[in-house]
Amino acid sequence: MKLDILPTRSGGAAENMAADFLLLQRYPSAGVARFRHYGWRGPAWTFGYSQKISFVRTQLPADANPNEICRRPTGGGVVDHRDDWTYALVIPRGYALEELRAAESYRRMHECLATALRAQGVPAVVKTSCEPPAEGEQACGPAGVCFQRAELYDVVHGDTGEKIAGAAQKRNKHGLLFQGSLWRPAARADAMDWEAFGDVFIAALAAELGAEAEATPWPEFNEDEVSGLVDQYASTEWVEYR
C-alpha cells in the first residue's frame, strides 16, 4: 500500500476546503492514501458542517474577514487558523484503518501526532478520559470552539492539560477524510523544528496504515470542477447552510 505526500500549498478558506474535498472525491490514483499539510494566505476560520452560523459568528473576532470563514465538509467545532498547523489525510476503502469506528480512527491518528510532538520534546499525550461535565453540558460532547476544551482522544499537553490538537472526519463511499489542526501556542515549543515534526508524523501515519510514504506532485484536477467547488464553498448558501 502507498501513502502519497502532496506538496505544501497555501490558500484561502474556501480553496482549502474545496481541495480537501476533491482529494476525497476525485483523486486520480484509486486505492492510494493521501496526505497534505497546508497553509493559509491570511487569517481564516473554519467550522463544522453541522454547526449553526448564528453560533459561529459569536465566536469570531469583530474584524474577521467574512470571505475567510468557511463551513467544513467534516464535523467538529470552530477552528482559528491564524497560528495552527493544518493537515488533511484521506484513507480510501481497502485500508484497515478506514474500516474502524470513528472514535478509534480518531485515537490512532492522534497517537501518531503525539508521537511526532514528543520527538520534538513536547510532552504530548492523547486524552483517554473526560472530566465530569459542567451543569447543562454533555460528557465528552463536541466542543463548540475547537481549542477551548479538550475532548476524548484529542492531543493535550502532558504538563498543562491544554489542548494541542483536534480533528474532524467525514466518511462516504470513497473513504475517510480526516481534517486536523494543531494549535502551535499550546505546544509551548518556540524552537520546534516543524519540518522534522512533519516528517515524523508522516512516518508514524505510514506505519499505522501499513503503507510506504512517497512524495507526489499535486494531482491535475479538472479546472472547471475546482473553480466550481471553490465558488460553492465560498457561497453564502454553503456558509449559512444552517
Alpha helices by DSSP H, listed for the chain, are 13-25, 53-58, 102-119, 184-187, 194-209, 223-234, 236-239
Copy the grid coordinates of residue 242: 444552517
Phi, psi of 90 (to 5 degrees): -115, 125
**Residue 62's pLDDT is what?**
92
Copy the grid coordinates of residue 44: 481564516
Q: Give the separation between CA 165 and CA 182, rounded to whole angstroms.
A: 4
Amino acid in position 232: Q
- Sketch out the chain's domains with CATH numbers: 2-99+169-239 (3.30.930.10)
Amino acid in position 229: L
Q: Give the separation between CA 132 and CA 10, rounded to whole angstroms.
A: 39
Q: Give the separation between CA 180 and CA 141, rounded to whole angstroms.
A: 18
Q: Give the separation between CA 155 and CA 94, rounded to whole angstroms.
A: 27
Whether 56 and 27 have beta carbons less than 8 Å apart is answered as no
Residue-wise pLDDT tens for the chain (242 aa)? 899 999 999 999 999 999 999 999 999 998 999 999 999 999 999 999 999 999 999 999 999 999 999 999 999 999 999 999 999 999 999 999 999 999 999 999 999 999 999 999 999 999 998 765 554 444 444 556 555 678 899 999 999 999 999 999 999 999 999 999 999 999 887 889 999 999 999 999 999 999 999 999 999 999 999 999 999 999 999 999 88
From the CB of residue 232, how many other CB atoms can be counted at a distance below 10 Å? 14
**Residue 129's pLDDT is what?**
84
**Residue 148's pLDDT is what?**
63
From the CB of residue 173, how many other CB atoms can be counted at a distance below 10 Å? 6
Q: Give the separation between CA 75 and CA 37, rounded to whole angstroms.
A: 19
